[in-house]
Structure 1
Amino acid sequence: MFKPVPVAIGLRYLRAKRRNGFISFISLASILGIALGVTALITTLAVMSGFQKEIRDRMLGMAAHATVSGYGEPLQDWRHAVQVATGDARVIGAAPYIEKEALISGANNQPAMLRAVIPAEEGKVSVLPEKMVQGKLAELTPGSFNIVLGRELAMWLGVGVGDDVIVTLAEFRSTPVGGVQTMKRFKVSGVFEAGYNEFDKGLAVVNLEDLQRVLRMGEGVTGVRLKLRDMDRAFEVARDLAMKLKGPYRVSDWTQDNANLFRALKMEKTVMAILLSLIVAMGAFNLVSSQVMLVTDKQADIAILRTLGLTPGQVMRTFMVQGGLIGIIGTVAGVIGGVALTFNLNNLLQAIEKVFGIQLLPEDVYYITGLPTDMQAGDVVAIVCAALVMAFLATLYPAWRAARTAPAEALRYE
C-alpha cells in the first residue's frame, strides 16, 4: 500500500530499535505521562459530574422543578392554576404550597423554612412521602397542627415524634395591646431524611390549611410547584403557564433558585480539569525532550535523506508523524485506562477499604455508600482533543530543528 515518504519514514523510526536507549526511555515516559494525565482527567471529571448529578437529583427530589407564584401577594385562584398546569403535557404534577421563614423551638432553637402542603398532592411534585423514616406524611391532617421535621433538624432541636415545638413566624398580627408576633404550637408527627443537608436540617412541613389558618390567608397560597418531564425546560414551561393564567405572576425554576450552588460546582470542575491537564502537559514536555534528542541522534540520517532529495518540509513532517503517533498512542491508552478505572472505581474503593480497614466515605457523613460517577461523552471528547493538540504542539519545535539541519555540517565528521 502506498504511503507518503514522511509517513513511511516516521513509522520506521517509531518501530526501529534505538541506538540510544535513553531516548527510548524518554519516549516511553512521554507515552505514560500523556496516558496517566488522560486517565486522571477522565476519571476525575466523571466523579465530579457524578457528584453534581447526585446533588441535583437529591435536591430536585424535594424541590420543585419550577414554581409560579403571586407577584407580591398570595395566589388566590391556585386551583385554576393547578388545573391549567396539569393540562400541559410537559407537566407531570402540580401542587400548591406556602413557604415562610420560621424559628422553631424545642429543647433548642433553630431557624428553618416552614413549608405547608397538601399531603395527598405532595407526592406528585416531590419524593417527601418516600423519605419518611418515622411517621407518615398523611398524618398532617387539617386541624391536627402536626409537623414533620428533617432528621438533622429534629436532632438539633432535641425532639422526637410526639413532642411539641413552637413555631414563630415573622408575621405580626394586630391586637388591642399592639402588634404580636405570630406563634403556634405544633406536634411532631414524623421525621424525614432526604439525604441533602439543606432539607434535613432546614425544612419543616405542615398541612396547608393549618398554616392558612395561622396566617389568616384565607384560600391564598404562596404559589404552585411543578414537576416536569424535562427539567431542562423548567423556565419555559413555567413562563408559558404564567402567560396562560393572564395575571402578574412570578416565575422561577430550579436553575435560578440554586444558581450559586451549580455555578460553584461548575467552577470547581473547571478548575480541577485545568489543574489535571498539567499532567498531560508534562507528558507533552517529555515528548519535546525525546524528539529533540532523537533529532540530534538522527543528524546523519537526516543529512542523507536531504541529499537523496527529501525537502525540509518533508523532513519536518517525518518527525511530526513520529511525535504525533506517540501522542496518539498515549491518548488512546489513557482513554482505555480512564474508562476502565471509572467503571471499576467503586470496586477499587471497596478493595482499598478492605485492605487498610478504613472507611473512605462514611454513609453517616456523606449520605452515600460509593463514589457516584457520570462519564459524559462531551468531557471525554474534550480531553482527547486537548491531549492530541498538546502532543501536536510538542512536535513542532523538534521537527522544525530537524528541517533546518544542514547536510554538509551533519556529514562532516561521519
Structure 2
Amino acid sequence: MNKKFVNFIVKRYLRFDKKHPFIYISFLLAFLGILTGVATLMIAMGIMNGMDKEFEKKLKVMNYPITVYSSLVKVDKKLLLYLEKKFPNYKYSPYIQTSAIIQKNGLNGVLVYGVDFEKERKINFVINDALKNIKNIGKFDVIVGKRLFEDIGLYPNEKVIMIFSKMTPIGFGVSPLMKKVKIRGYFNSGLVAYDKGIAYMNIQGLKIILNQDYYSGIHIWTPNPFKDIEKIKKILPPGVGIIGWWQQNGNFFAALKMEKRALFLVLMLIIIVASLNIISSLLMMIMSKRKEIALMISLGATRTEIKRIFLKLGMIIGVLGIVSGAILGGIGIYILKNFDIIKLPADVYGVSRLPIDLSLVDFSLIIVGAFIIVLISSIYPAIKASKTDVLDTLRYE
C-alpha cells in the first residue's frame, strides 16, 4: 500500500470544497458532537465519582470500617485485649450503644454511643475535630451533632436532662433512667441523619448509668477492611457478630453504582449520535467523489488504499473530537475543582463545594468507548467506497 498516496488524498479531501459545503458542515457537527460528548462524560463521571467518594468517606467514618458487636455472646474487655494482642496494628474503640431523649425545648430522641474519647478520636476524624477545643471530658459529658445542637438551642457546657430507654424498678412499677449531663459541644459530620440523631458520651459515665460492664461492640480501623474482616472473623468466638461499613450501606452503594452506569450509557448516546454524522458525511463525500474514486482505481490504486483513505478521514475527525473533548473536559474539571462556581447546600449533600474525582478507569472507558464508536462509524463508508463499480461509474458519470 502506498502511504504517501493515501495521505495526499486524505489531505486533499479534508480541504473545504465550495461545491459541496454541506459535507464539511456535517464533518464539523460530527467533530463538535464527539467533543461535547467526551467532555460531558468526563465532567459527569467526575462529579459522580466525587459524590460517591464523599458519601463513602462520611459513611465509613460514622459507620466505621469494621464493627464487632454483641450478638449471642457479649463483647467484653477480655475480647478487646485479645484482639489488640492478635492485631496490634489495628485501632480499636469499644462502645456502648443505647437510645435516649434529651429534654430541652421538648423531647428529642438520639442514639447514644458511650466511647473512650481518646480512642475514638484516633479512628473518627469527625470526633477528633470536635474535641480540638474541648479539654478534660468528664464522666457525664456529652457531644451532640451540630444540627441537633442548633435546632434545640443548646450552648457549650449547658446541663440538660437525658432520659434513657433502660428502665429501673421503682416500688410496684418501673421508671426510665434519668441523668443530668453536660453538653460540652458538637460534632459536624455533614450528614443530617447523623448530626441530628447521634450523641457521644463518656463510656465510663454510661457504664455507671446503665450499670453495664460489657460493651455493645468494638469499632475497628484497619488499613484494608475488605480483607481484614475475614482475618478477624476467624478468631472471634462463636456468637459474636462482625460487619463492615460497606455491608451496612449495601443498598445505597448498589443504587449509586447503577445510577453511574445508567448515566454513562445515556451520555455515550451523544457520541453515538455524533458518529452518525461521520457516517453521513463520508457517504455524501463518497457519492460526490465517485468519479475520482473510479479514476484512482483505474489508474492503479488498490481497493485497500481507497478503503484506507475514507477510514482515515473518519478516524481523523473522530480522534480530533475525542482529543479536543478530553482537553475541554479536563479544563472543565479543573475549573469546577478550584473555583466555587457551583455551591451545594451542605446540610443536604454534606459538602458545600462540588466534589469531582475522575478515576483513571472511567477516563479510559470514555476514551476507548468513544474510539470504538468512531472506528465502527468509519468502517462502513470505507468499505462502501472500496466497492465502487469502476466501469459503470466512468461510463455513466
Output the TM-score relative to the length of structure 2.
0.88
Deviation for aligned residue 1:164: 0.8
- Give the AA of the match of 2:217: G
Query: Is 1:198 aligned to residue 197 of structure 2?
Result: no
- Give the AA of the match of 1:166: M
Deviation for aligned residue 1:133: 7.9
- With 335-344 and 126-135 compared, the bigger mean Cα shift is at 126-135
- With 308-317 and 249-258 compared, the bigger mean Cα shift is at 308-317
Query: Is 1:98 aligned to residue 92 of structure 2?
Result: no
Query: Is 1:81 aligned to residue 61 of structure 2?
Result: no
Deviation for aligned residue 1:172: 4.1
Aligned to 1:166: 162
> For residues 300 and 100 of structure 2, what CA distance do their matches in structure 1 show?
86
Could you list the per-position Cα deviations for residues 169-208 of structure 1 after superposition, in whole angstroms to 9, with x for gaps in the alignment?
A: 2x44555524544454433222222222232112111111
Residues 133 and 193 in structure 1, CA contact (< 8 A), matched pair in contact too: no
Could you list the per-position Cα deviations for residues 1-25 of structure 1 after superposition, in whole angstroms to 9, with x for gaps in the alignment?
A: x854785366335544434222112
Distance 1:399 1:108, change over 3 A: farther
Aligned to 1:146: 141
Counting only pairs closer than 5 Å after superposition, residues 159-238 of structure 1 correspond to structure 2 as 159-161=154-156, 162-169=158-165, 171-174=166-169, 176-218=171-213, 220-229=214-223, 233-238=224-229
Could you list the per-position Cα deviations for residues 363-389 of structure 1 after superposition, in whole angstroms to 9, with x for gaps in the alignment?
A: 566553432221211111000011011
Aligned to 2:257: 266
Distance 1:284 1:111, change over 3 A: farther
Structure 1 consecutive aligned stretches of length 4 or more whose deviation exceeds 6 Å? none
Deviation for aligned residue 1:247: 4.0
> For residues 59 and 151 of structure 2, what CA distance do their matches in structure 1 show?
21
Query: Is 1:337 aligned to residue 328 of structure 2?
Result: yes
> For residues 227 and 7 of structure 1, what CA distance do their matches in structure 2 show?
62
Deviation for aligned residue 1:255: 0.8
Local SS of the residue matching 1:124: helix
> For residues 252 and 187 of structure 1, what CA distance do their matches in structure 2 show?
32
Aligned to 2:118: 120
Could you list the per-position Cα deviations for residues 97-143 of structure 1 after superposition, in whole angstroms to 9, with x for gaps in the alignment?
A: 1223444442133333211101222112212443328962742x22x
Q: CA RMSD in A?
A: 2.8
> For residues 6 and 101 of structure 1, what CA distance do their matches in structure 2 show?
81
> For residues 88 and 285 of structure 1, what CA distance do their matches in structure 2 show?
59
Distance 1:371 1:179, change over 3 A: same
Residues 148 and 192 in structure 1, CA contact (< 8 A), matched pair in contact too: yes
Deviation for aligned residue 1:274: 2.0
> For residues 47 and 61 of structure 2, what CA distance do their matches in structure 1 show?
21
Query: Is 1:290 aligned to residue 273 of structure 2?
Result: no
- Give the AA of the match of 1:54: E
Aligned to 1:306: 297
Unpaired runs of at least 5, structure 2: none
Query: Is 1:373 aligned to residue 356 of structure 2?
Result: yes
> For residues 155 and 81 of structure 2, what CA distance do their matches in structure 1 show?
34
> For residues 392 and 209 of structure 1, what CA distance do their matches in structure 2 show?
68
Distance 1:82 1:311, change over 3 A: farther
Residues 68 and 249 in structure 1, CA contact (< 8 A), matched pair in contact too: yes
Counting only pairs closer than 5 Å after superposition, residues 57-76 of structure 1 correspond to structure 2 as 57-76=57-76
- With 82-91 and 65-74 compared, the bigger mean Cα shift is at 82-91
Residues 316 and 399 in structure 1, CA contact (< 8 A), matched pair in contact too: yes
Aligned to 2:383: 400
Local SS of the residue matching 2:383: helix
- Give the AA of the match of 1:187: K
Distance 1:133 1:122, change over 3 A: closer
Deviation for aligned residue 1:328: 1.1
Deviation for aligned residue 1:293: 1.0
> For residues 89 and 278 of structure 2, what CA distance do their matches in structure 1 show?
53
Residues 10 and 322 in structure 1, CA contact (< 8 A), matched pair in contact too: no
> For residues 261 and 299 of structure 1, what CA distance do their matches in structure 2 show?
57
Could you list the per-position Cα deviations for residues 330-370 of structure 1 after superposition, in whole angstroms to 9, with x for gaps in the alignment?
A: 111111211122122245544xxxxxxxx743556655343
Aligned to 1:354: none
> For residues 134 and 120 of structure 1, what CA distance do their matches in structure 2 show?
12
Distance 1:201 1:13, change over 3 A: farther
Local SS of the residue matching 1:214: helix
Residues 343 and 353 in structure 2, CA contact (< 8 A), matched pair in contact too: no
Residues 31 and 330 in structure 1, CA contact (< 8 A), matched pair in contact too: yes
Could you list the per-position Cα deviations for residues 196-225 of structure 1 after superposition, in whole angstroms to 9, with x for gaps in the alignment?
A: 22321121111112222333322x001111
Local SS of the residue matching 1:201: helix
Deviation for aligned residue 1:62: 3.6
Q: Give the one of 241, 248, 259 matched to 1:257.
A: 248
Query: Is 1:110 aligned to residue 108 of structure 2?
Result: yes
Aligned to 2:374: 391
Local SS of the residue matching 2:123: coil
> For residues 115 and 279 of structure 1, what CA distance do their matches in structure 2 show?
50
Local SS of the residue matching 1:212: helix
- Give the AA of the match of 1:394: S
Distance 1:310 1:174, change over 3 A: farther
> For residues 222 and 151 of structure 1, what CA distance do their matches in structure 2 show?
25
Local SS of the residue matching 1:272: helix
Aligned to 2:134: 136
Distance 1:64 1:362, change over 3 A: closer
Deviation for aligned residue 1:165: 3.6
Distance 1:189 1:279, change over 3 A: same
Could you list the per-position Cα deviations for residues 27-50 of structure 1 after superposition, in whole angstroms to 9, with x for gaps in the alignment?
A: 122111101110111112112212
Deviation for aligned residue 1:283: 1.4
Residues 166 and 183 in structure 1, CA contact (< 8 A), matched pair in contact too: yes
Aligned to 2:315: 324
